Chain A
């Protein structure tokens, strides 16, 4: 535990100093990586801790993006003041949806969340008066030099990521987090032990939705243009899941590590093989599930070895 906190501290100092040494391109790549790390960490509260595969959690990302977009363009509220509203709207929607949907389990829950995501996208697409519909929404551009703007978003999204990690960490260490893990392992047993599973599950989903909503808000202002298809991007859901798996779902920092590895790999792949990068991304996801299904943390706890990969491969086969 101490060792990983130390390593995280060193990593943080490097990341804080980095903007003064690297080019705008890498700053952008890293900002995007922070964004995914924040999404994956926030979503992991419901996915990894509680064991409910919320496949469509990107819905809250889109909601957050549109809350910031609409508040900034229609009501001229400043960017940072919109972020609490993003969190709040994600929280409320998740509570309302959670009460009926969290009764479902496994596949059913996963697909119902995909359904919710598609439905919210379509509603946003059709509310042309407020959201601009398919034409999209153009946000006011931030004033200042490009170099300043790059740094501003780098640090803002990094802070959001750290905030998500902090929330995830506090939940993990608290009694609440303990209850969530109990629900994942055996919901009926948890219920018998006196855990109000409905309340805990709903709260877990709402918190994760609030965190993802904040990221969406920052994303909208960063891109300054959103439309229903970029805000509710299905491939983001998949990437988020792959990151959680790669890092390890039952850890606090796993999703962040997964995000860094997968984003950097896909960035390199993207720049080298622009034509077939989608195919490589698909193949990469297949390989992650096949060879390191428990995540890097769990698999290589005592050091790297090929034998562990082979053991993993044998464990789940028919």
Chain B
């Protein structure tokens, strides 16, 4: 019975990882930028939710759209006026640039919001749903549902709207996209903005399930990265499967091998997948990779 509980915990955790990873994967797939500041941006969302709850008593779930909007604007400005300037440089410059942004944001949060670990406990925090021996807290279930909903919305946006199709076109062939009148600078900025907004939503869900501080930014980015590798770049449904796989792998390994080896195992899986099948478990050659 315990194994079922572990699998369910893994599944619920996996939903969160999927939302953290899907934006990261989208940016990487479309613009070929590895955004090492992704975890730090998610934490900005977490702080927005935390302060709205603490100062004004706004329910964490209600602050999701607000945190999406804030991070959307932040991401748009960042890509339009900073990252677009160096997007054609060698890849490791972009890595350092985004890491510079990460250092800046983490230190900003540490200075102004302090390095304390914080979390939110709304009134309904303790309630859960019980079948036999299996316990499912309502909050985790709600977080999971929102995660699925967000990935579904993103998939809908990319496949059905003009802007979504323009994003896909840009990532498949930049020159051809320009020829049909798509402005890549704007599309890159829009992609980054949407991905940041989703990172903000993921961040807002974070304080509901675990304690956070600026210091966990790196480990969030690492999870996002692993999800992208597992699921393949720029693939929304891939990120969902990758996230769930990662969540289950993590809970299983913490149970059988020990909590302290969790990161090493995650990384081991990632490196193994990279070496055996660099395009991801489900991925084909996709998006930005075709160009290079």
Contact = CB atoms under 8 A, between A and B. Distances in A.
Interface of A: 47, 53, 55, 100-101, 103-104, 106-108, 110-112, 114-116, 118-119, 122-123, 125-126, 234-235, 238, 241-242, 245, 275-279, 281-286, 289-290, 293, 313, 315-318
Given A53-B92, A119-B264, A285-B100, A317 B84 contact: yes
| Majority SS at the chain A contact face | helix
Contacts of B229: 111
A282 B109 CA distance: 13
Contacts of A242: 96, 100
Given A118-B263, A317-B87, A282 B101 contact: yes
**What DSSP secondary structure best describes chain B's contact surface?**
helix
15 contacts: A101-B275, A104-B275, A108-B274, A111-B225, A112-B270, A115-B271, A119-B263, A119-B271, A241-B96, A242-B100, A276-B107, A285-B96, A315-B88, A316-B85, A316-B89
A283 B96 CA distance: 11
Contacts of B267: 115-116, 118-119
B270 A110 contact: no
Q: Which 8 A-B pairs have the closest CB atoms?
A: A282-B104, A278-B107, A285-B100, A282-B103, A53-B92, A115-B267, A316-B89, A122-B264
A282 B268 CA distance: 29
A238 B104 contact: no
B255 interface: no
B218 interface: yes
Q: What is the interface residue range for chain B against chain A?
A: 35 or more
B281 interface: no
Contacts of A118: 222, 263-264, 267
B102 interface: yes
Contacts of A103: 275
Nearest to B85: A317
A318 B174 CA distance: 11
A245 B96 CA distance: 9
B145 interface: no
B263 A275 contact: no
A104 B97 contact: no
Among B104, B110, B222: residue with most chain A CB under 10 A? B104
A229 to B, nearest CB: 11
Contacts of B85: 290, 313, 316-317
B160 interface: no
Given A289-B93, A316-B86, A278 B103 contact: yes
Interface string B169-198: 000000000000000110010000000000
Given A110-B91, A316-B85, A276 B96 contact: no
B141 interface: no
B222 to A, nearest CB: 7
- Residue with the greatest number of chain A CB neighbours at <10 A, chosen from B100, B105, B274, B275: B100
B50 to A, nearest CB: 21
A242 B102 CA distance: 14
Contact of A282 (B87, B107, B271, B275): B107
Contacts of B275: 100-101, 103-104, 112
Nearest to B222: A118
A273 B50 CA distance: 28
Contacts of A114: 222
B106 interface: yes
Interface in B101-143: 101-108, 110-111
Contact of B87 (A123, A235, A277, A318): A318
Given A279-B108, A317-B86, 7 more contacts: A47-B92, A112-B271, A112-B274, A118-B263, A285-B103, A289-B93, A315-B88
